Structure 1
Amino acid sequence: MQTKIRFFSVTFDFHGHELISRVKAASQRAPENIVLADLDETRVSASLYLFHPRKISIARRDADGEVTWESVETLDRVAVKIHMSKKNAVISAVNSPRSSKFIDSLMSELCLGGRYFYESMEIDENLIKKHVSKFDAARLVSAKVRDFAVYEGAVGRFEVTSKNGLMDEIAPFLRGKFYRVDSLTYELTHKFSSFLITYSSSGSIKINDTHMDMILPSFEKLI
């Protein structure tokens, strides 16, 4: 089973060295919303569980067979890590909801009315190549690209997959041309184990559950 981890770049109006103390204070102030799992003061990072309310629609059928819909509130439990990188703070969330409102919930507790800004972290080809080079062998097996010129005034997008591996240029007609990468999937081999990892330019990676402890720390060190 694959796990999706989303990454966000965050800036806020307090100094980065205050992060640990603010996370501690937030967990004590709102223990029903924030539960600490781990703190590392030397690396200025914190792992926690964030409980975020969300409304969902459910259907009820009465004795006559008539269906009615109603809105009920549920709780999402999101595993979150926040740490300071070279440039700013990075939040990573495991299998998070599509909406990013859970980040607003966390940052409002940390900033206490102060200003903050976050956006999906860009994962570019340079970062991807640095990461896959950390493993014994890497083979590009699938790619989604877009915005390459087909002819004047027209651009295209496509996905290409090969279990035998793709060329570095992805496809011959892309060589030397401008295009944007949506996602790249690599088959990695490391210490007699093979597994897949998908990098999305919009700020997420998908990895196999059994290899997450091997892959995730090496990726986080690069961002």
Structure 2
Amino acid sequence: MLADLDEERPSASLYLFHPRIISIARRDDDGEVVWDSVETVDRVAVKIQISKQRTVISAINSPRSVKFVDALMSELCQGGRYFFESMEIDEALVKKHVSRFDTARLVSAKVRDFAVYEGAVGRFEVTSKNGLMENIAPLLQGKYYKMDSLTYEVTHKFSSFLVTYMNGGGIKINEDYLDLLLPTFERLL
């Protein structure tokens, strides 16, 4: 792990080197395909932002696995005991965040657990390049549902980009806009 601490604010940037095994195919001398396992290393950028209420750990382009989270927390806590809970991103937090940009319109939503009829729940995705209704779809009005992901088309300071918020704590965005998006999101937490 390599770290860069900011002495003026309670934050740090670091890289975590995370080993993993991948399978590769190669041809042997006879021309037959042979599969091998090879160990490789992922370099993951991690930002730590500390406020009075909480500590936010942001892993940029990290592997989506419990093993990675365990390796990250073990390294940060240096063998101490810890409890980790992924942040759940909800619609209220997303709306608060996208309101910080010049314009934002919902273009895709994945929802689950909405009541279709007695004893049956549904899951669906709705997408429109023209933008979705604020309440996503008429069939959801007045019904309970959970958000899986929301994708917004955002325009800010002459730039347009897509940002996807996933309820399990993940945000997908083009790396070019990371410095604009991540700090504004962390300040809301």
Once the two structures are TM-superposed, the CA of residue 194 in structure 1 deviates from its matched residue by: 1.9
Secondary structure of the structure 1 residue equivalent to 2:153: strand
**CA distance in 2: counterparts of 1:183 and 1:122, whole angstroms:** 11
Query: CA 1:106/1:181 → structure 2, altered by over 3 Å: closer, same or farther?
Result: closer
Call closer, same or farther: CA 1:133–1:86 in 2, change over 3 Å. Answer: farther
Instruction: State percent identity of aligned pairs.
Output: 75
25, 35, 52: which one aligns with 2:2: 35
2:79 match: 113
How many angstroms apart in 2 are the aligned matches of 1:220 and 1:94?
A: 13
Mapping of residues 185-200 of structure 1, within 5 Å: 185-200=151-166
How far 1:217 moved relative to its partner? 1.0
Aligned equivalents of 2:26, 2:121: Cα separation in 1: 47
Query: Which TM-score applies when normalising by structure 2?
Result: 0.91
Taking the aligned partners of 1:174 and 1:222, their CA distance within structure 2 comes to 27
Structure 2: tracts of 5 or more residues without a match: none
Over residues 164-190 of structure 1, what are the superposed CA-to-partner deviations in whole Å (9 max), with x where a residue is unaligned?
A: 111111111111110011111111122
Task: Please state whether the residue corresponding to 2:35 is helix, strand or coil.
Answer: strand
Q: Which has the higher contact order (CA 8 A, sep 6+)?
A: 1
TM-score of the superposition, structure 1-length normalised?
0.78
CA distance in 2, matches of 1:129, 1:170: 13
Show structure 1 runs of 5+ residues with no match: 1-33
How far the C-alpha of 1:53 sits from its partner, in A, is: 1.2
Name the residue aligned to 1:160.
126
Does the aligned pair in 1 maintain the 2:153–2:163 contact within 8 Å?
A: yes
